Structure 1
Amino acid sequence: MRSASGDSSPVLPWLLIRQDGHGNRYRVGSYATRVEAEQIADRLGRRAGSGQRAGSGSGSGAGGDTDSYLVESRAPEGADRG
């Protein structure tokens, strides 16, 4: 899939976000498909020991130290323009 603007950079509409127990969010990566992003989220979740699936919630652990991995769709370019 290519950008609608005609440039040669690929469009990666699915974002993988890590959210810690305090609500801080960090972009981990961008992916072409939701399935690909969810597979990475599941793998990272298992590695971190969180046991949470992609998109499963805030990850608020008792000590505030639980990370969760969320998959979100990137807004289309120009969607915020009026």
Structure 2
Amino acid sequence: MSDTNAVLPWLVIRQDDNGNRYRVGRYATKTEAQEVADRLDSRTEERLYVVERTEASRRVR
């Protein structure tokens, strides 16, 4: 297990039209990650960015 997962458990993921997913960034809080996702989403009419908690951070708790 990496310490990074425990400190930055929230991911912003971009999903394209073909279902491919790309990690955009890692964040310490869900609020911070959601703000980034919302800011990126504001550039397009479609919702392309989602916030998810990493699996490793779920197991640590």
Compute the TM-score of the two structures, normalised by the length of structure 1: 0.59
Which residue does the alignment assign to 1:59? none
- Among all aligned residue pairs of Structure 1 and Structure 2, give the percentage whose two residues are the same amino acid: 53
Runs (4+) off by over 6 Å: none
Q: Deviations over 1:6-37 (max 9, x none)?
A: xxx67100000000011010000000000100
Larger-gyration structure (1/2): 1
Q: Which has the higher helix share?
A: 2
Unaligned runs of 5+ in 1: 4-8, 53-67
CA distance in 1 between counterparts of 2:53 and 2:14 reads 14
Unaligned runs of 5+ in 2: none
Aligned length: 55
Compute the TM-score of the two structures, normalised by the length of structure 2: 0.77
Q: Structure 2: which amino acid aligns with 1:42?
A: D
CA distance in 2 between counterparts of 1:37 and 1:22 reads 23
Matches within 5 A, 1:35-74: 35-47=31-43, 49-52=44-47, 68-74=48-54
SS of the residue corresponding to residue 41 of structure 1 reads helix
RMSD of Structure 2 on Structure 1 (CA)? 1.8
Q: Which has the higher strand share?
A: 2
Name which structure has the greater RCO, CA cutoff 8 Å, separation 6+.
2
